[in-house]
Structure 1
Amino acid sequence: MNENSKKQLKKTGRPLKNDPAKIRYTISFNEEEHARFLALFDQSGMQVKAHFITSCIFDKTMKSVQIDKGTVDFYMRLTSFHSQFRSIGVNYNQIVKLLYKSFSEKKASAYLYKLEKQTAEMVQLFKKVVEITEEFDKKHLKNSLKNDSENRKK
């Protein structure tokens, strides 16, 4: 008789779900983060915080970035190039000060004229670098972002 009553107890209650949510994660907030979370939760109009968190995680698109070695190399060289331009600017200011201290105004002006020509050439070179960078951005970076979004849709 005990066996029959145990079997009956198991059948009572709510029916079991096909795919129960058994895996749990916990997070900790400080006071400011908790206030922001509650404000977002209230704005959502949802009744259950777990459903709100789930919708935030799975319904919003996440950006993933693939690291291309060629792109990283290009970026590093471009950064190095930019730092060299900055150091040239610092040196440029130092040269102008030295020219006016060390030489007469006429001689300093002559040297500055030559320096201006070199600077104009450098500006043209920098414009070419910017054009090449924009071209690289259009060809490679935009295409890789487009391919990523297409792959997610599939």
Structure 2
Amino acid sequence: MEDSNKKQKKTGRHPKTDPAKIRYSISLNEVEHARFLSLFEQSGMKIKAHFITSCIFENKIKTIKIDKGTIDFYMRLTSFHSQFRAVGVNYNQIVKMLYSTFSEKKAAGLLYKLEKNTLEMVDIFKKVIEITEEFNRNYVKNTD
């Protein structure tokens, strides 16, 4: 009698409020299975059951394609942009130094040379922008 009056300890998982009890089974041939696995991998989901459920109830399925070439291009473009910003900072420092160190006439002559090099750099950056736009048009697919 004493044993039945003692409280039992509850261990383990807490029961779900609405457990999924109903199961369905489907059979796929090799081609269908390969296509299913491909779609599952593209979705980025971790659990196949969640992927199948989202397909059945027509939830929007997110597919992610990772193109290493595109990632590499944008990483290099970002690095190039940071170098461009560093050149801009150095440019400002040089102009200040020219006017504080040299006479007005000498500073103007040196600034003229700097301006020529700056125009060449502007042409290079215009080409970079054109190449980037061409890359986006030809290789990056818009999913909108």
How would you bin the TM-score normalised by the shorter chain? 0.5 to 0.7
Q: TM-score, normalised by structure 1?
A: 0.54
Listed one character per residue, the Cα deviations across residues 44-80 of structure 1 (whole Å, up to 9, x for unaligned) are xxxxxxxxxx99xx54534433111111111111001
Q: Any stretches of 5+ residues in structure 1 without a counterpart? A: 1-20, 24-53, 150-154
Q: Any stretches of 5+ residues in structure 2 without a counterpart? A: 1-19, 23-52
What is the one-letter code of the residue matched to 2:121? M
Q: Percentage identity across aligned positions?
A: 69
Provide runs of 4+ in structure 1 moved above 6 Å. none
Find the counterpart in structure 2 of residue 75 from structure 1: 74
Whole-Å Cα distance in 1 between the matches of residues 130 and 62 of structure 2?
27
Find the counterpart in structure 1 of residue 91 from structure 2: 92
How many residue pairs get aligned? The number is 94
Return the structure number with greater helix share: 1
Whole-Å Cα distance in 2 between the matches of residues 138 and 63 of structure 1?
23
Q: TM-score, normalised by structure 2?
A: 0.58
- State the structure with bigger RCO (CA 8 A, min sep 6), 1 or 2: 2
Alignment of 1:23-102 (within 5 A): 59=58, 61-102=60-101
Secondary structure class of the residue paired with 1:76: helix
Find the counterpart in structure 2 of residue 108 from structure 1: 107
Whole-Å Cα distance in 1 between the matches of residues 61 and 82 of structure 2?
33
- Superposed CA RMSD: 2.5
